[in-house]
Amino acid sequence: MKKYHLLTSVILIVGICLFSSCKETQDRQSLVSLMEQYLAALPKHDPSVLPLSPDVKLVENTEPTPIGKGLWETVTGGPGSFKIFVADPVNGEVAFMGVIEENHKPTILGARLKVVAGNITEIDHLVVHSGDQPLNPNMKAPRRDFIEKVDPSHRVHRDQMLKIADSYYEAIIQDNGTIAPFADECQRRENGGITAYYYNQPPEEAAKDDFSVFRKMKCSDQLSTGVMSYITDIDRRRILAIDEEMGLVFAFSIFVHNGEPEIMKITGVPGITERPNRYGPFDLPAAHVFKISDGKIINIEAIGYIAPHGIRNGWE
């Protein structure tokens, strides 16, 4: 009789697992806590304290990297005051954008963990090595939008958030800012530098900035001028974490530049009809965090670094 009940219980458990795929769901805070645990382990150079899957894969700056190597060897301090967390319990993804310390210098990091049944199965590091460049003052603390929840009445469904994030990339490569639903006040920052809607740029700074007229524009208006036409494509788009509670979307991508056209045609800017493309061929691995509310992109934080043209992303 006991054997019968035991067999019945086993069958019931197996049936439940088959129906639910035995997927352990985690709430938003537990995912954030796991990322905090991961970031705390980095400067201790001890990945053994983490719940790593036996076949966990780490890609750092587009290169598959053994656990314990790369950033695991060079980090000397955990996150500072600039830290943004994007947690997605539905997909089991959690991402971080912020500033850590590498070789005793402030360094920008974009990181992503894939979590399955409580174990980390995938890891991304996008590291903007500081070198001799000082950290932009805007990287001292995140803007309030990125650390405050979106009121439930202003949230949109995760499927729509994904489409909105992807439309940003399309707006760039199609030179049409109306493709993406930008809020008028949307400001884009790249490694801390303001690259769109820098409405209050100091005159002395603007005088030395040949991009100033475009930098002051609203996001939508700027992309419609053609000033970004030196970007050939934005591919390997990996929109990984959608945080409905915070209204945040985290994505990796590679901005591809083949060096063409040599002259960019500019429209809608009084007195400017063209702009030389002096950049040449290169690629730019990037991470973006989009703040979305009421179906619009409210603000953008982006990080990235220049890499050789034609690179792979490490996951292909």
Please, what's the b/e burial string for 149-187 (b: 16 or more CB within 10 A of its CB; e: otherwise)?
ebeeeebbeeeebebbbbbbbebbbbbebebbbbbeebb
Over residues 186-204, the mean pLDDT reads 98
The pLDDT score that the predictor gives to residue 15 is: 42
For the CA atoms of the chain, what is the radius of gyration? 22
Work out the pLDDT band at 174, boundaries 50, 70, 90. Answer: very high
Mean pLDDT of the chain: 93
pLDDT digits (tens, 9 = 90+) for 40-72: 999 999 999 999 999 999 999 999 999 999 999
Q: At residue 190, does pLDDT exceed 50?
A: yes
C-alpha distances (whole Å) from 90 to each of 18, 132, 166, 242, 244 are 19, 40, 19, 9, 10
Q: Report residue 24's pLDDT band, with 50, 70 and 90 as the boundaries.
A: low
Segment among 9-13, 121-125, 205-209 with least mean pLDDT: 9-13
Indicate the pLDDT class of residue 3, thresholds 50, 70 and 90: very low
Encode burial over 61-70: b for 16+ CB neighbours within 10 A, e otherwise.
bbeebeeeeb
Give the DSSP letter of residue 140.
Answer: S
Q: Where are the alpha helices (DSSP H) in the chain?
A: 2-20, 28-41, 71-74, 158-173, 203-206, 212-215, 219-223
Q: E-strand spans in the chain? A: 52-60, 63-64, 75-77, 83-88, 93-102, 105-116, 119-128, 182-190, 193-196, 233-243, 248-258, 263-269, 272-276, 281-293, 296-304
In angstroms, the CA 287 to CA 158 distance is: 19
301 has which bridge partners? 189, 289
What percent of the chain stands above pLDDT 70? 92
How confident is the model at residue 287, as a pLDDT? 98
How many residues does the structure list for the chain?
Answer: 316
Would you give the distance in Å from CA 250 to the centre of its chain? 4
Q: What local confidence, expressed as pLDDT, does residue 13 receive?
A: 39
Query: Which pLDDT value is given to residue 25?
Result: 63
Average pLDDT over residues 88-95: 98
Quick one: DSSP state of residue 122? Answer: E
User: Do 196 and 172 form a contact (C-beta atoms < 8 A)?
Assistant: no
Residue 26's pLDDT band (boundaries 50, 70, 90)? confident
Is 308 within 8 Å of 297 (Cβ atoms)?
no
Domains of the chain: 28-139 (3.10.450.50), 149-304 (3.10.450.50)
**pLDDT confidence tier of residue 160, bands split at 50, 70 and 90:** very high
- What percent of the chain lies above the pLDDT cut of 90? 90
pLDDT tens column, 109-158: 999 999 999 999 999 999 999 888 899 999 999 999 999 999 999 999 99
Average pLDDT over residues 210-235: 98
| Interval 280-304 mean pLDDT | 98
Mean pLDDT score, 280-284: 98
Higher pLDDT, 3 or 282: 282
Mean pLDDT of 76-80: 95
Inter-residue contact 292 to 241 (CB < 8 Å): no
- Tokens found for residue 171: 């707006």
